[in-house]
Amino acid sequence: MSAFPMQWPTAHGGPFIQGVIRQQPEDFHVTEIPRYEPEGEGDFLWLKIRKRNQNTDWIAQQLIKIAGIKNNDVQYAGKKDRNAVTEQWFSIHLHGQAEPDLQALLSDDVQILESVRDRSGLRRGNLKGNDFTICVRKLEGDIPALETVLETIQQQGIPNYFGEQRFGHDGNNLLCAQQLFTDSSFRPAKNLRGIYLSAARSYLFNKVLSYRVYHGHWNQAMDGEWLQSPASKSRFIIGRMDDATRARIDKMEINPTGPLWGKGQPESKRECLQMEQRLLNSLETFRTGLEKAGLQQDRRSLRLRVENLSWDIEGDVLQMTFFLPAGCYATSLLREIVCY
């Protein structure tokens, strides 16, 4: 059992069914949507690769080996699940050399779908989001209630939790974060250090969000709340609530936010600040560690609109398609509707 509780409450009364996800890789299909398309010329070769049962780092290492280039000459915008079928972009910095012969990469589980040049390479997080097609098999439970909650999610969204994969198996990334903050002899590699810092920061956010879900105001504004537009990412702090602001919140044009901890003064004020400080007082090691690591105070939307959500139930199989913006997790939707 993890030393860090992660039984976050759901928002819509579920889950109402049990089921099996990822019975086969094709049951979890993800297509990456880049923030911009490659232009067609330049010194960087962009490859759209479909992979099955392969992780992102393995593909990157194969490209490095086949092309005979340095590690930092291959980039991607985000990591994708191994036990899935995923389509994502990689970029190779050619440094004026001819395009490499990538036939050795290809197999039944790896195909190159597109190959396009651009003047710059990919950067982490350079994503608009991801399209998902997910099958849940062997459904058992209240199917009418499942359909009702899916309709509710279409209208009201879901809590924007960080997914459990952020925290590692049995919360191991959090244990490593704790060690990072308390043991000066623990010096993980740079990429692992970043993973542990992200896990600690995400845990603080989820703790605030879970409290607000439990008390039913995760999708409402508090006094001193920062509200965020999901379209522009612009934020403003709420003073006195008025009908126009309340209507915009109800329509999901703006969302309440929670803390992404770092150094500097917390951005929330008054009632909202008092609530967040009270909830996070017991996690001083994480708060202080993140501040000393140099991360800055930021905010993240508490609510997530599940765009283009549609579904079909045939027998004991549920199939869903939807889009989520970058940094959001399909598991945040699945946990609202199914025990798996």
Residues involved in catalysis = 81
Nearest to 134 by CA among 315, 310, 326: 310
Nearest Cα residue to 225 out of 254, 201, 251: 254
- Taking CB atoms within 8 Å and a gap of at least 24, the contacts of 176-181 are 177/286, 177/289, 178/285, 178/286, 180/289, 181/285, 181/286, 181/288, 181/289, 181/292
The single-letter code of the amino acid at 129 is G
Measured between alpha carbons, how far is 99 from 85 in angstroms, rounded to an integer? 26
Residue with tokens 């190779």: 92
- Classify residue 173 as left (phi > 0), alpha (psi -120 to 50) or beta: alpha
Instruction: Output phi, psi for 219, to 5 deg.
Output: -115, 25
Residue with tokens 């959500």: 309
